[in-house]
Structure 1
Amino acid sequence: MATNESRRYQATMTALRGIVMIAAGLLAFLYPAEAVKFVLLAGGGLLLVDGALGLASGETWASRNAGGQLVLIRNLCCIVAGVIVLASGLLTNVFSLSFLATCVGLLALVAGLVEIVSSLIDRDRYASPLPAMVSGGLYAIFGLALLFMPLSSAATLMRIVTALLILYALSLLYRAWRIRTTA
C-alpha cells in the first residue's frame, strides 16, 4: 500500500505532466506552423540518425549479397531524406516546400519498400522477417502520407492533435487531484 508521501509525490508528478502538456499544447495550438516545423525537424533528425546508425551497424558491409546492397540503399535514402528535411530552410530558397516534401516522401517510400524486399530476400539475417516488414511498411506509409497529404492541412491536423493533448492533460490534472485527495 502506498504511503501518503508517495501518493503526494505521484500526484505532484502527474500534475506536472499535465501542466507541461497543457503549455506545449497551447503553444502548438496558437502557433501550429511552428509546431509543424519542429515536428518536421525532429523527424528529419530521426531519418538522418536512423540511416547513419544503419550504416554504422556494419550489416550492409558484412554481406555483399543483394539483401546487403538493398539495406545500403535503404540507409542512404534515409540519410538523404534527413538531410533534405534538416536543410529545408536553405533549400526552400531554391525549391518549393511541396517539392521537398515530395522528395522526402518518395525517399521514405523507397526506403520502406526496400526494407520489405530486403527482409524477404535475405531471410538469414532475421530470426523473423516480420519486424523488418512492419517497420518497412511504416516507412512506406509515412512516405505515402507526405506524398498525398497537402502541407496546408498539417496546421489543421496539428491543432486537432493539440486539442486532444490538452484534453489528455486536463485528465492528468484531474487524476492528480483525485490522488491528492485520497492521500
Structure 2
Amino acid sequence: MASSTTYGSVKDLFENIGKEVQELAKNDAKQYRSQLKGDLSQATYSRNSNGQETPSDPCELNHEYHTTVTGGFDKNNPCKNRPNVRFSDIYGGQCTDSKIRGNDTNNGGACAPFRRLFLCDHHLSHMQADQIDSKDNLLLEVSLAAQYEGKLLVERHRECKKTHEDFKTNICDVLARSFADIG
C-alpha cells in the first residue's frame, strides 16, 4: 500500500487492507491446493479385496461398501439414528456445554442451529484418525455424507412444497446451506 494513498473514510481504508490480506492469503494457499485436493477415484477401502474400485461419480457410492471408517451394524449409514424432524419448533437449536470441545462451561454453552443438529453424518462420528490414511479417503467419507444429505433434502423439500403452497425456497438454496455445514 502506497504511503500517499488517501481514503474517503476509515471504512474504505479497512476494505482496502482486507482486500490486500485476502489476496496474500489466496496466493499463499495456492501452494497447498494440490496437497488438500482429494481424488475420489483413488480412494481405497478395506472391504475391497479386488483392488481399487471406487466409482468416480459420488452419486454411485454405496454406504454398505464404499467406506473405511465403520465395521458394519449399519453404522456406515450416514442417516442412521437421525430424527425424521430436521427443522422444528419443538426441537429448536441445541445449546449445551458438552457438545463442543473447548467450550466455556460457565455460560450455558454454544448453540447449534437446526440444520447443524440433524445432518446425515452418522458414519463420520465413528471415524478414527487411523482409518483415514489419505485425502482421497477423507473425500470418500465426506462425499457419502453429502450424497445422503442431498437425497434426504430433495425428498423433504418435495414433501414441504406439497403441504405448504406458500413455500418458495429453491432446492438449490436448501442444498447450498446444508452443504456449507458439511464442508
TM-score clears 0.5: no
Short-chain TM bin: 0.3 to 0.5
Q: TM-score with structure 1 length normalisation?
A: 0.39
TM norm structure 2: 0.39
Task: Indicate the structure with greater helix content.
Answer: 1
